[in-house]
Homo-oligomer: A and B are copies of this chain.
Amino acid sequence: MNQTTERREAVQVSVDVVLLTLVEQQLHAVLLRRAAAPFAGVWALPGGFIHTAEDADTKASAARVLQTKVGIEGAYLEQLATFSGPARDPRGWSVAVAYCALLPAQSLPPQRDDLCVVPVSALPQLPFDHRAILDAALARVRSKSLYSSLPVHLCGETFTLPQLQLVYENVLGEPLNKVSFRRKMDEMDWLEAVPGALQGGAHRPAQLYRVKPAFRQELALSPRGL
């Protein structure tokens, strides 16, 4: 805080959320069509201003934006970084606290005209500095997937180990060695078999796993990476 009494200048504060999911083995971002100026009608990241009467912090603001504007709850949400400056928003000097959210595709909201789910490899032009925010989110998710349980938030509640490995491979954009992948998952000790739950035909059905309770909010970390 300030040492001497400074004038507090009006700075616009918003939250912007990069909401990622996996569709057909590709990372997709959820975009909303802006209803109001600036950039009315343009596809953009979900976002909004702080509601000081209801938001406990900017993470709560981001969760509220996902609930009220996207129509989802329970997405994994983490702070990405804060973007700022005089030019990023035509309304003046602004601060955007950016969040990264991950959601399984089956939890996406029903289709709507003002919502689209776009492959991150085929994004439309985005307003403000939303492209830089989205690129930062992709870099964060990919680097963090190398040493954590982050990608599991793109999976449903239960999954087989081959399904989990495929999700990691889709996020990282590269194949992983099955043996070392499973050893890393064992070392991280964050998965538990669902008793009696198998998937697949009578011929070699696969065990279903889920995240241990301790790791449903917290990420599991691999000290040495995948």
A58 and B84 contacting across the interface, CB-CB below 8 Å = yes
List residues 78-133 of chain A with CB under 8 A from any CB of chain B. 79, 81-86, 89, 92-93, 95-97, 114, 127-128
| Set B2, B10, B49, B225: member contacting A2, Cβ < 8 A | B49
List residues 1-35 of chain A with CB under 8 A from any CB of chain B. 1-14, 16, 32-35
| Set B7, B48, B128: member contacting A3, Cβ < 8 A | B48
Question: What is the copy number of this chain in the assembly?
Answer: 2
Determine the main DSSP class of A at the interface with B: loop
Instruction: Tell whether A36 is near chain B: CB-to-CB under 8 Å.
Output: yes
In which size bucket is the chain A interface? 35 or more
Binary interface encoding of chain A residues 28-71 relative to chain B, with 1 for a CB under 8 A from any of its CBs, else 0? 00001111111100001111111110011110000000000100
Instruction: Tell whether A203 is near chain B: CB-to-CB under 8 Å.
Output: no
> Chain B residues with Cβ under 8 A from A7's Cβ?
49
Instruction: Tell whether A223 is near chain B: CB-to-CB under 8 Å.
Output: yes
Given contacts A34-B1, A36-B5, A52-B9, contact A97 B79 (CB under 8 A): no
Given contacts A8-B49, A9-B52, A52-B92, contact A36 B3 (CB under 8 A): yes
Report the bound CA distance from A89 to B1 in whole Å.
9
Task: Write the nearest CB–CB distance from A52 to chain B, whole angstroms.
Answer: 4
Instruction: Tell whether A204 is near chain B: CB-to-CB under 8 Å.
Output: no
B93 and A44 contacting across the interface, CB-CB below 8 Å = no
B79 and A81 contacting across the interface, CB-CB below 8 Å = yes
Would you list 25 pairs from A and B whose C-beta atoms are within 8 A, ordered by A residue?
A1-B16, A1-B38, A2-B34, A2-B47, A3-B32, A3-B33, A3-B69, A4-B35, A5-B36, A6-B48, A6-B49, A8-B12, A8-B49, A9-B49, A9-B50, A11-B11, A13-B13, A13-B95, A50-B95, A56-B86, A57-B83, A58-B82, A79-B81, A82-B97, A225-B225
User: Residues of A with Cβ closer than 8 Å to B?
Assistant: 1-14, 16, 32-39, 44-52, 55-58, 69, 79, 81-86, 89, 92-93, 95-97, 114, 127-128, 223-225
For the complex with contacts A1-B44, A5-B35, 9 further pairs of A-B residues with Cβ separation under 8 Å are A1-B127, A3-B35, A5-B36, A11-B11, A13-B13, A56-B86, A57-B84, A58-B82, A84-B97
